[in-house]
Amino acid sequence: MSKPLTLISATPSAYARMNRIAFSLKGIPFKVQNEIPWESKTITPQYNPLEKLPILLFPDNRPPVYESAHIQNYIVEKYASVGPLLLPGDLDGNLLAKQIVALSVGCMDALVLSGWEMRRKKEQQSQKWIERQIRKVDGSMRAFNDYVEAANGRPYVLGKEISIADIGIACAVGGIDFVGLRPGWQRQYPALSEYCGRLDRLKEFQDTKPIMFNITEQVV
């Protein structure tokens, strides 16, 4: 049997979670190598000049693939004939699915940036910067809820089958929930809450719930 792919991941990473769920739904075997990308001994910079994970490594030493949205594209295109499509299947539908992935990743970025700023000493923090990032998170949540409401009773935002759009939304909202940024969001967005709750009960989502790691080095 050929050696499996390796995904450099981190236990709390909403970005890597998207890729782990896509691989699992497609039934593609892969190994997870957990890293703490913020620590000096991480191998992450060896494979991505941006020093970020997730990163997909190949057993034959082909150049790695990085950036979570790009890895999602790699998975759906490379394994188009394996398991569920994870895309609507028509050009416009596919582009919309990728747009929703981009929105999900942007929401995760804003969440991470606000989180790091809040970790600084109070006197070093920029409240305006925090507010700016949180505004993006709130805007994304409103947009996610709009997509769910527009689905009008369909089980997934872009149709009857799960797609990378659903994976993106559930991972972004899961990340917000994980850090506790918006307690009570479920009451504000009941449609989004019901939808995420339903996705979170699927095995692939249960198996990848975020787990915090312990950063021992000073980051900012």
Ligand X SMILES: N[C@@H](CCC(=O)N[C@@H](CS)C(=O)NCC(=O)O)C(=O)O
Of residues 5, 165, 16, the one with CA closest to residue 84: 165
10 Å Cβ neighbour count for 64? Answer: 16
Applying CB under 6 A, does 53 fall inside the site for ligand X?
Answer: yes
What x/- string results for residues 97 through 136 when contact with ligand X is judged by CB under 6 A? --------x------x------------------------
Query: Based on CB atoms, which residue is closest to ligand X, 109 or 138?
Result: 109
Q: Which residues pair with 55 in a beta bridge?
A: 8, 66
Query: Based on CB atoms, which residue is closest to ligand X, 12 or 89?
Result: 12
Applying CB under 6 A, does 15 fall inside the site for ligand X?
Answer: yes
- Kindly tell me which residue out of 67, 138, 146, 177 binds ligand X, with binding defined by CB under 6 A: 67
10 Å Cβ neighbour count for 86? Answer: 23
Applying CB under 6 A, does 87 fall inside the site for ligand X?
Answer: no
**Cα–Cα distance, 201 to 204 (Å, whole number):** 9
- Kindly tell me which residue out of 51, 131, 194, 207 binds ligand X, with binding defined by CB under 6 A: 51
Applying CB under 6 A, does 22 fall inside the site for ligand X?
Answer: no
- DSSP labels, 71-103: HHHHHHHHTTTSS--SS-SSHHHHHHHHHHHHH
Structure tokens given for 202: 């699927």
What x/- string results for residues 132 through 171 when contact with ligand X is judged by CB under 6 A? ----------------------------------------
